[in-house]
């Protein structure tokens, strides 16, 4: 996608690439060496694009979403009381 969009961004002398990666690539995770390497590769790609396209006023950034849940809380997929009770009943203690 980046290769396909580059000529258009160069011609208009503006644009922004937004790549999605994972915190597994940024900080690592147990048993995910191959996944972490792939996600860190996206960061390297984005940085290289940023360097190459800077002279055309084109930016390249990565987004790395992360979800955190307190150990004593489990998110419920619903706000409805009946479904929430069913969800909580299915969770391990």
Per-residue pLDDT of the chain (93 residues; tens, 9 = 90+): 999 999 999 999 999 999 999 888 888 878 889 999 999 999 999 999 999 999 999 999 999 988 766 555 655 555 667 766 776 676 666
Please state, in angstroms and rounded to a whole number, the distance separating the CA atoms of residues 5 and 17.
9
Closest CA to 76 of 85, 64, 67, 65: 85
pTM across the whole model: 0.67
Active-site residue, selected from the candidate residues 32, 35, 40, 76: 35
Spans of all domains in the chain: 2-66
Active-site residue, 35 included: yes
């Amino acid at each position: 996608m980046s290769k396909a969009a580059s000529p258009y961004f160069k011609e208009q002398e503006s644009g922004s690439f937004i790549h999605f990666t994972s915190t597994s690539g940024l900080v690592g995770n147990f048993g995910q060496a191959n996944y972490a390497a792939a996600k860190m590769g996206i960061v390297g790609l984005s940085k290289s694009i940023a360097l190459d396209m800077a002279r055309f006023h084109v930016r390249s950034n990565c987004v790395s979403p992360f979800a955190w849940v307190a150990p004593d809380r489990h998110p419920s997929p619903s706000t409805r009381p009946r479904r929430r009770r069913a969800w909580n009943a299915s969770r391990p203690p």
